[in-house]
Amino acid sequence: MKKAQSPYNQRNQFSNFHFEDDRNNKTKQQSGSYSALKNIKAAVKKVFTVLLFRRKVNSKAAASVIDPRRNSNRIRGVSSSTDRSSGSTDTKNSSKFKSSGSYGSSTTLSGIIETKYFSYEEISKATEKFSQANIIGEGGFGIVYRGRLGDGSLVAVKRARKTGSDKLLQLEFKNEILTLSMIEHLNLVRLYGYLEHGDERIILVEYVGNGTLREHLDGTRGNGLEIAERLDIAIDVAHAITYLHMYTDPPIIHRDIKSLNILITEKLRAKVADFGFARLSADSDATHISTQVKGTAGYLDPEYLKTYQLTEKSDVYSFGVLLVELMTGRRPIEPNKPHNERLTTRWAFQTLKRGEAVLVMDPRLRRNAASTMAMEKILRLAHECLAPLRQSRPSMKKCGEVLWGIRKEYRQVAFPPPPTSHYSANFPVRDPKMTRQQTFGIEDDDNYKFVSA
């Protein structure tokens, strides 16, 4: 029986677009990434002269264009300290794994992640020999299992299909490893390691066991998300994308921001997952990157589709679609709805323009002055994110700031402070029946008067 699509790897031939690269554009990507990669190599070489890998990731890899013909070599990570692991030393059956140190940092240098060695046998044991009982999803990349490492840590184990000749899967596998090895943030899934040995390609990432945002919006997970919880999730995602755009070198463009790639923790906070489509900006000063089009229908930047020019603003567009999804509870494309409601963003904005925004609010949300106010403001922000021209869209940093303001205003309206007393909060309020001496320990004095706050 076919499993549900994995919350860690959503691929679908109907919802995702794949077009071949324009080979003439690769030369531009290579040259832009050289200087940034050169600085990284110099820093690593100064600290680790012998212990770490000697293989150079060329400029194509730095630009996230990894030649699938080089699949015989293993992508290796960079370590910020010596390996303290006592894992397997059998090079025949083991491959380099990575685990992160100060998780949650937003200033981690690209590629500085501890390395560990684990064998295929250890991964097999963690998943109980890849038992069907441990399958938590299935996508285009392969099957995802829940695993428990020897130290008790839960992980999601993404095992690629053994197609051998599928160069796109090989490219996606190496692309995700390269990207995850460069990032570390509280709202991004954490890379534990990977294995590439023989025909096995396995990625281990942080296990987030409370499903995807889409499952929560559909009502198949949890008890429904309130407006405050949806605001928190939107802010978490904004923080994650801002980090990718501003605090990695070179900047990272996710390219597949959608509710199926937003994992929800037990505390109803968000972690962005699935970096198989992520792209490293070849040059932080470049105005665009010409590339093959990848993404999911309904979330794709139309200007990117038209020009093949990818920028950080393409992620901003997808984030705008996500905001509408959060407020309406609907998917971006609803083929079973009436004709004028099939494109959710268009329907929502037309209704907002008529002054009837409350009609698009997710039926699961409680309607009150605070929630209606927040929803209208979020939809207006989403409208800015979906501007046809990329230069008219706000940055992700600006989106996060606006959402912070909306959340603050929502709390003030939903939970107004109690009415203040006539007296100062720092001044004792006395019982009128008590004398001044009883209240303040002083003798009556005609010159003593209360001063109102």
DSSP class per residue in 390-420: GGGSPPHHHHHHHHHHHHHHHHHHHSPPPPP
pLDDT (0 to 100) of residue 137: 80
Q: Which of 236, 256, 274, 315 is labelled catalytic?
A: 256
Task: Report mean pLDDT in 10-residue bins for the chain, 453 residues.
Answer: 50 42 44 50 44 37 35 34 32 37 37 62 93 85 90 91 71 86 93 86 92 95 94 98 94 95 96 89 53 85 91 97 98 96 97 94 95 97 97 98 98 88 56 52 47 40
437 Cβ partners below 8 Å, 6+ apart? Answer: 443, 444
pLDDT (0 to 100) of residue 136: 87
Match 């090989």 to its residue by tokens: 170
- Please tell me the pTM assigned to this model: 0.70
Q: Phi/psi class of residue 238: alpha, beta or left (left: φ > 0; alpha: ψ in -120 to 50)?
A: alpha
Pairwise CA distance, residues 385 & 405, whole Å: 17
Pick the CATH number of 213-414 from 3.40.50.920, 3.30.1330.40, 1.10.3720.10, 1.10.510.10: 1.10.510.10
Give the tokens for residue 215. 């499952």
Query: What class, spelled out in words, does domain 16-22+48-206 have in CATH?
Result: alpha beta
Enumerate the domain spans of the chain: 16-22+48-206, 213-414
Question: 256, 240 in Cβ contact below 8 A?
Answer: no
pLDDT (0 to 100) of residue 294: 84
88 Cβ partners below 8 Å, 6+ apart? Answer: 94, 117, 118, 119, 121, 122
220 to 26, 275, 336, 359, 368: CA distances (angstroms): 43, 25, 19, 23, 25
Assess whether 249 carries a catalytic annotation.
no
Per-residue DSSP letter, 87: -
Pairwise CA distance, residues 365 & 191, whole Å: 35
Omega into 250 within 30° of 0, i.e. cis? yes
Pairwise CA distance, residues 369 & 124, whole Å: 53
pLDDT (0 to 100) of residue 421: 60
Give the tokens for residue 82. 């010596």
